[in-house]
Structure 1
Amino acid sequence: MIVYTVGTFDLLHVGHLALLEYCKSLGGVLAVGVASDRVVNSYKPNVPVIPLDQRMEMLRALRCVDIVRPYDELEYVSGCKELNADIFVIGEDWGNKPHNIAVESYLKSAGKQIKQVLYNPRTSSTSIKQNVIAQSYNVSNLKTTVA
């Protein structure tokens, strides 16, 4: 059984690890699609902090991940077809955008499964970035006050 999930995986953290370990528990092979900077920039205001090749390298190093593949278009049907994925795992913010509806339709017609997971509230790339900015602000503010 092949399980496929997709994401940015910027600033790899325990929330990502929990998702990937859950995905691995669903089947024998876990394939992870990693969004290119161009894809991320099409729906988020900023590109990832970590370059695509490094994000992929970190994912390949995880024992629960078997296949890592980049994707450069905001669509998931081709990845599901190429991998012959049995289960496609999505996040809680999935929504009803055309690229989401297209893969749901494909999976249903092919007799495949789609599973939706809740995000791990312990951490997120956004909160990590906010903490770094806050700490950076505090350090620079401290330097100006001391000087």
Structure 2
Amino acid sequence: MKVITFGTFDMPHIGHVKILNRAKELGDHLIVGVSSDDLNLFKKGRKPIYSQDERMFLINSFKGVDQVFLEESLELKREYILNYKADILVMGDDWKGKFDEFSDICQVVYLPRTPSISTTSVIEVVKTNHFDQEELTSQKN
């Protein structure tokens, strides 16, 4: 069984690892579509911290990931699923119902997200810790 999922995977974190591991458990071949820099800019209004090539390299390095490709358009999801001959589409449950339109070509599964973790929260922690460090350094001088 081939499983496909999609995401930006900017600043990979434990939530990404967990959902990819759970997706892999549903089949024997895991395919991951990594959003292009331009697609991420369109979706989120900002460029990712890591480039698309870096993010693809990181995701391809995860245990259980068998294949990675660049997702360049949201409108091409159906074609991606068909081209990669995916049996199952896996998405986080924050997208529940949004991909049901593909249930005519594959099984659609929404997996629970890891609580209290997101790329946005990781970025905020890094920014906060960075500024705290700068403040400590300036107080010492």
| TM-score, structure 1 normalization | 0.87
Check conservation: 1:15, 1:122, Cα contact below 8 A. Answer: no
Three-state SS of the structure 1 residue aligned to 2:91 is strand
- Gapped regions of structure 1 (runs ≥ 5): none
Q: Distance in 1 between matches of 2:57 and 2:68?
A: 9
Deviation string 1:24-71 (CA, Å, 9 cap, x unpaired) is 000111000000111111121322111111111111112200010011
What does residue 132 of structure 2 align with?
Answer: 138
Instruction: Give the AA of the match of 1:125.
Output: T
Q: Distance in 2 between matches of 1:71 and 1:109?
A: 21
Q: How many Å apart are 1:95 and its aligned residue?
A: 6.1
- Go from structure 1 to structure 2 and tell me whether the alpha carbon gap of 1:37 and 1:123 turns closer, same or farther (over 3 Å shift): same
Three-state SS of the structure 2 residue aligned to 1:123 is coil
> Residues 69-84 of structure 1 correspond to what in structure 2 (within 5 A)?
69-75=69-75, 76-84=77-85
Q: Distance in 2 between matches of 1:121 and 1:109?
A: 30
Q: Distance in 2 between matches of 1:17 and 1:95?
A: 20
Q: Percent identity?
A: 31
> Residues 92-107 of structure 1 correspond to what in structure 2 (within 5 A)?
92-94=93-95, 100=98, 104-105=100-101, 107=102
Instruction: Give the AA of the match of 1:114.
Output: V
What does residue 51 of structure 2 align with?
Answer: 51
Check conservation: 2:3, 2:27, Cα contact below 8 A. Answer: yes
Aligned residues between the structures? 140
What does residue 27 of structure 2 align with?
Answer: 27
What does residue 110 of structure 2 align with?
Answer: 116
Cα RMSD (Å)? 1.7
Q: Distance in 2 between matches of 1:108 and 1:18?
A: 24
Q: Does 1:11 align with 2:6?
A: no
